[in-house]
Structure 1
Amino acid sequence: MHYLTTLKELFQQSVEKYPQATFLEIWDGEKYLSFTYQEIFVLIKKLVAGLANQGLKSGEKIALLGENSPGWVVCYLAIVCGGWIVVPLDKELKPKEIAKLIKFSDVKIIFVSQALYLKLERIKRNNYQIYIFNPFLKGDDDLSQLMVEEPPNLYIERVVKKDDLASIVFTSGTTGAAKGVMLTHYNFVSDILASMERIRLLHKDRLLLILPLHHTFSLTAGLFCPMCKGASIVIENNKNRVLKVFQEKHPSIFIAVPRVFELLYNRIEAEVKKQGNWEQWTKGISLVRKIKKYTGINIGKLVFSKLHKQLGGRIRLFVSGGAALPPAIAYKYFNLGLPLLQGWGMTELSPVGTILSYHKLRFYFTHYYEKRVASIGPPLDGLTIELIDVPERGLYANLGEKEGELVVTGPMLTPGYYKDEDANKTVFFSLNGQRWFKTGDVGKKDSEGNFYITGRSKYVIVTSEGKNVHPEEVEEALEQSPFIQESLVLGHKEHKKELVVALIVPHAQYLKQYLEQKNLSFTWENIYEIIYKEIKQNVQQIASYKWPCDFAITEYDENTGEFKAFEKTTTLKIKRDLYKFSSFYSYRSLKKGGWRKIFFKKL
């Protein structure tokens, strides 16, 4: 298998080995639709021929906007198998954000699902074509009209090489703060093959996919890895149906972000209480813990056999990624006899970088995973991770300290950011003839070679849903208000969740003028009222997961008549490390309405 170098080769191998095996399944609102590898392959060949007839040259970019579906998968695979480049877009982005990405990435064609076409209707068209696709491949769309019965060997003649770009993945919503991560065919394939060695996914496995495929973790772990083994994938976009899908389709593998696992567990507990079995449930948990503690044997599967049956009876492994998994959540699943492992990675690594190997006997008969519950595991085969000094945080790995910034090199590492040489110069460096990447994550390594993430040196905020939020982008939106002179967007931990919050320096002069015109006094209540409304208005232009949940205003200096500005470096950059957001019991969400009169605290 290791001779594979492109996604086209990887897909074709599965089609040749398992032509009649079920590849994709999805609920269409009335029944489950099922597609074999051969059926999807036939559609892909027709679409490749149709795109080739449009005169598209190899290496042209094609955007893909839609919910998870067989239609999305066919579009993606046709693009990469035809030698073009996919630009997958987040369906939660606003039209303005989508327009920026389309323009920046030089897109020639956009595939959009029927449900999301309205977002593109509001965008002024500029040198690109739009094709609407039916997510269920029912043949009543532009996609089916574009497909043609290919001339002999046209699909085969579309040459794809290992170092050709397969995709440009944007890590956030705009080109200002966001970066377009370029990923080659071999970046993906090397990561897929190494991941398969680690988690041992099998042809007989059935994976439940709920994470959006524009997210590289979902794309690689949720689509490409099972595809590599000819396994089947059940697609479900409605999170309220997850338990029902477990019962109906009996998946053996489930990947998700920590927040999904938290919600799933809460849903299970709520169902237990509803059925009046809470006392029996807590006694079962206590029994499993005691036996595990003293013997190393996990009897969770036996004690909670009814739950396992309700989850389909075939669960083999849960995998968490996209954000740090709180150990408390992992322990909860361990107690139920359900192995939940976390991996680590980033888009720049295609994206999986590390994960512990899963061994059934280790999980059920030893303390192995409990002792390593906070670990992200060792690097995948082919990936090298080292720790370097982080002077600004007082970490000196080369002087014998335990922590440092993770730097990586390997075949899954991106060739760089699209049209962003400044960013490339900042994060890539050469050492001993190898090209290394600074991850921005701070961590440590144990004697076995397992890594642990202890913090972030970059300022990207990773929410509990695994969404990356770039502070600069949110700040840009906030500072469009004449009443906001400066803003600082931070990640803030509240109840074990990473929240987006903002510190605001109001523009005193404009505020005073406005309040005077309205015959209102210069009071904190009026100031917060205005800033609140301005924030609420200006964040409408960005996706809702980027909105600050709360905000605070800096101190007002009576002597100068100004609000205190943030301290800056000689190059006028805010010294972000000096600031944090205060925690109060009176916390109220901006999304729900309301504000609170607090000030920021300096570390």
Structure 2
Amino acid sequence: MHTFNSPLEAFLHWEKNTPNHVFLKQPINGKFINYTFKEAGDEARRIASHFKTLNLKEGSHIALLSKNCAHWVISDLAIMMAGCVSIPIYPTLNADSINQILIHSESKAIIIGKLDDFESQKSGIPNIPIISIGIYGEQVGELWEDLIEKRKPLDSVSLPDTNSLHTIIYTSGTTGTPKGVMHTASNFMESSSTLITLFSLPNNLRLFSYLPLAHVAERLLINAGVVLGAAISFAESLETFAKELEANQPHLFFAVPRIWTKFREKILESVSQKKLNMLLKIPLLNTLIKNKLKKKLGLKEAVFIASAAAPIAADMVIWYKKLGITIQQGYGMTEDCCVSHFNTPKASKVGTVGKTLYNVKAKLSAEGEICIKNDCLMKGYYKAPDLTAEVFDDEGYLKTGDIGEFDHDGFLTITGRVKDQFKTDKGKYISPSHIELLLSNNTDVEQICIVGTGIPQPIALITLSELGKAKPKKEFITSIMKSVEQINPTLEKHERLEKVVVMKEDWTVANGLATPSLKVKRSAIEKIHQDFYKSWFDMDEKVIFE
């Protein structure tokens, strides 16, 4: 592996040494437009040259609002080439949230890329220069394609000081206002080299980018791709996602638990669990079925398959293992640039997030909070010195906000969030995440939020999966009650579930009840429903439909 000091230095290496290798593959109307390293570099240099004409000071902040696409990566390179700092914004945010980030980050310009509903978002953009990318249908401010025509490529690109600010990532946040996490170029290089070393990733990887690039984990993955001179493909839409993933067969695949749930759902829609169990018991068919499913999911050639961002149920990991798909669960945060704990092929234990990585120090506070120290911790929260001081302890460890425990082999299990704990009216504290994980094994359930403030026992608020929605009500009630009856004896008395309440609508990014990385926004859900807890608890039915 080559050693680089910044993502830009890595890109310039491949642009010089493999100019004609395909770097980015962008589907438009079912056809791929390929960008070689040379072509991507040329467009990035021309856009960087345009930034220079805006008289932006070195280190100015430039925002990027787009779904994953080739131009997200080219824009990021252009921002680096211009000596500026990128402010990536989740493409699903509403106008108010976009405005909040642009004002707080003091962004001096914005690039508008591939979006589903820019019309409803554009009022959030203050009076700053806008570049929109015509290929994706937007035509506001200056057009990217016109700038490519009229600007000369930037000849000399100066490499950044590795410790200068590289990007500010606004956390999706399950609570409160998003915070701007400041990272340097060297933080991203440390993070990328950790990933490459851990999983012995080779050069010339094939990657498929679909989780939001505004999220640190996907950004890190693509960064590792740039370090290794990878070819990166993108999905055109949600409808074409499965087909494109199958066609791409990436070497590396990372998903959040919700996506693993969706994949399992799709498989069980076409073949029942009973039939699948039977087929997997037949020696010759077993291999055939596994290979067919792996190919269909796009995982036939994957050397590393991971789940992170939220806890995944152990039963889910075991279910996939029976199909020959080994999901390695890991743990990391925006603030520690994802370098914390991971299961690896050599050291893996289902139900845990793995061992402390080789370049990390970890400890538990007196309250059991996980604290991390590594060489790529954030430089702090932008314009929030007090908040920054709060999350570091006296020894410089980052306080993660997660509660965990190590087993005798050194594997870490996350047992809850410090802020998620609640007290029932019996005065007992409950950490909901392990109960949520147990209930998530039921394939009829999509999302779960265990609550119980002010009532004697906790209740489960849930949304239904497609499988659950398709079931007759009576059948679903039997299924969910069976799960509760299996779970309750394994819990402490004060933790046992008393009721299950089925929500009318799903919790989505659009209605503000899920984060862009698909985590449930507990505080927002509690705010809407807390007034009903007592009346639900007092009802005779065990399963209540809102």
Question: Which TM-score band (shorter chain)?
Answer: 0.7 to 0.9
Cα deviation 1:437-485 (Å, max 9, x = unaligned): 1111111223443322122214499xxxxxxxxxxxxxxxxxxxxxxxx
1:552 to 507, 526, 530: 530
Map 1:383-532 onto structure 2 (within 5 A). 383-390=360-367, 404-431=368-395, 435-459=396-420, 493=436, 495-496=439-440, 499=448
CA offset at residue 317 of structure 1? 3.0
Q: How many residues align?
A: 465
CA distance in 2 between counterparts of 1:7 and 1:374 reads 34
Q: 1:454 to 1:175 in 2, by over 3 A?
A: closer
Shift of 1:124: 6.4
1:86-105 matches, cutoff 5 A: 86-105=86-105
Which residue number in structure 1 is paired with residue 235 of structure 2? 236
Is contact 2:58-2:83 (8 Å) kept? yes
How far off is 1:281 after superposition?
A: 2.3
Q: Superposed, which structure 2 residues align to 1:60-79 within 5 Å?
A: 60-79=60-79
Deviation at residue 121 of structure 1 after TM alignment = 3.1
**Which AA in structure 2 matches 1:356?**
N
Q: Which residue type is aligned with residue 553 of structure 1? A: D
Is 1:198–1:358's contact at 8 Å kept on the other side of the alignment?
no
The question of whether the paired residues in 2 share the 8 Å contact of 1:40 and 1:74 is answered with yes
Work out whether 1:341 is the aligned partner of 2:331.
no
* 1:365-376 alignment runs, 5 A limit: 369=348, 372-376=349-353
- The Cα of 1:171 is off from its aligned counterpart by 1.2
Counterpart of 2:206 in structure 1 is: 206
Closer, same or farther in 2 for the Cα pair 1:70/1:122, shift >3 Å?
same
Which blocks of at least 5 consecutive residues in structure 1 are unaligned?
Answer: 292-298, 360-367, 391-403, 462-489, 506-535, 557-562, 564-579, 589-594, 596-603
Q: 1:333 to 1:239 in 2, by over 3 A?
A: farther
Amino acid at match of 1:47: I
Change (3 A) 1:555 1:543: closer
Change in 2 beyond 3 A, CA 1:114/1:261: closer
Alignment correspondent of 2:264 = 265
Give the AA of the match of 2:280.
Answer: I
Distance change >3 Å, CA 498–CA 266, structure 1 → 2: closer
For the 8 Å contact 2:312–2:329, the answer to whether it is kept is yes
Instruction: Please say if residues 62 and 109 of structure 2, whose CA atoms lie closer than 8 Å, have aligned partners that are also in contact.
Output: yes
CA displacement at 1:161 relative to structure 2: 0.7
* SS of 2:214 mapped into structure 1: coil
* Aligned AA (2:244): V
Contact 2:87 2:167 in 1 (8 A): yes
Q: In the alignment, which of 498, 512, 522 is matched to residue 543 of structure 1?
A: 512
Q: In the alignment, which of 147, 152, 155 is matched to residue 153 of structure 1?
A: 155
* 3-state SS of 1:265 partner: helix
Matches of 2:307 and 2:533 in 1, distance apart? 41
Residue aligning to 1:117: 118
- Equivalent position amino acid for 1:50 in 2: H
Aligned counterparts of 2:509 and 2:329: Cα–Cα separation in 1: 34
- 3-state SS of 1:27 partner: strand
The Cα shift of 1:584 comes to 7.2
Distance 1:581 1:32 in 2: 58
2 CA distance for matches of 1:95 and 1:60?
Answer: 22
State the 1:342 CA deviation: 1.2
Give how far 1:543 is off: 3.3
Q: 1:209 to 1:114 in 2, by over 3 A?
A: closer
Aligned partner letter, 1:457? V
CA contact (8 A) 2:64 2:112 kept: yes
Report what 1:310 is aligned to.
296
**Letter of the 1:272 counterpart:** V
- C-alpha displacement of 1:45: 1.4
Give the 5 Å matches for 1:33-48.
33-48=33-48
Whether the 8 Å CA contact 1:503–1:554 is kept in 2: the answer is no
Match of 1:354 in 2: 341
| Distance verdict in 2 for CA 1:326–1:581, change over 3 Å | farther
Alignment correspondent of 2:356: 379
SS at match of 1:122: helix
Aligned letter for 2:414? I
Question: For the structure 1 residues 308 and 189, does the alpha-carbon distance in structure 2 shift closer, same or farther, using more than 3 Å as the test?
Answer: same
TM-superposition CA deviations, 1:360-403 (whole Å, max 9, x none):
xxxxxxxx74xx1112122334222122211xxxxxxxxxxxxx
Alpha carbons of 1:459 and 1:58: their partners in 2 closer, same or farther (altered >3 Å)?
A: farther
In structure 2, the residue matched to 1:283 is: 278
Give the Cα separation in 1 of the matches to 2:125 and 2:86: 21
Specify whether residues 382 and 81 from structure 1 end up closer, same or farther in structure 2 by C-alpha distance, changes over 3 A only: farther
- Give yes or no for contact 1:195–1:380 (8 Å, CA) kept in 2: no
- Letter of the structure 2 residue corresponding to residue 378 of structure 1: K
For the residue of structure 1 that corresponds to 2:192, the secondary structure is helix
TM-score normalised by the chain length of structure 2: 0.75
Conservation of the 8 A alpha-carbon contact between 1:88 and 1:169: yes
Which of 321, 327, 340 does residue 314 from structure 2 map onto? 327
Q: Distance in 2 between matches of 1:162 and 1:193?
A: 15
Query: Hey, what's the Cα distance between the residues in 2 that align with 1:354 and 1:45?
Result: 37
Percent identity over paired residues: 24
Alpha-carbon RMSD across the aligned residues, in angstroms, is 3.7
Distance 1:503 1:429 in 2: 31
Q: CA deviation at 1:246?
A: 3.5
Per-residue Cα deviation, 1:490-544 (whole angstroms, up to 9, x for no partner): 9893842664688999xxxxxxxxxxxxxxxxxxxxxxxxxxxxxx9xx999735
Distance in 2 (CA, whole Å) between partners of 1:414 and 1:406 is 16
Give the corresponding residue for 1:509: none
- Structure 1 match to 2:8: 8
Aligned pairs for 1:110-189 within 5 A: 110-113=110-113, 115=115, 116-123=117-124, 125-126=126-127, 128-134=128-134, 142-147=143-148, 149-150=151-152, 153-154=155-156, 156=157, 158-172=158-172, 177-189=177-189
Change (3 A) 1:581 1:146: farther
Go from structure 1 to structure 2 and tell me whether the alpha carbon gap of 1:428 and 1:131 turns closer, same or farther (over 3 Å shift): same
Find the aligned partners of 1:25 and 1:123 in 2 and give their Cα distance: 30
Q: Which residue of 2 aligns with 1:586?
A: 543
**C-alpha distance in 2, partners of 1:123/1:250?**
38
2:470 is matched with which residue?
A: none
SS in 1 for 2:398: strand
Q: Residues of 2 paired with 1:176 and 1:56: CA distance? A: 32
Instruction: Tell me the secondary structure at the aligned position of residue 183 of structure 1.
Output: strand
> What letter corresponds to residue 146 of structure 1 in structure 2?
L
Give the SS at the match of 1:373. Answer: coil
Give the conservation status (yes or no) of the 8 Å contact 1:188–1:350.
yes
Offset of residue 129 of structure 1: 1.6
The TM-score with structure 1 as length reference comes to 0.69
Structure with bigger gyration radius: 1
> Compared with structure 1, are the counterparts of its residues 440 and 37 closer, same or farther at alpha carbon in structure 2 (3 Å cutoff)?
same
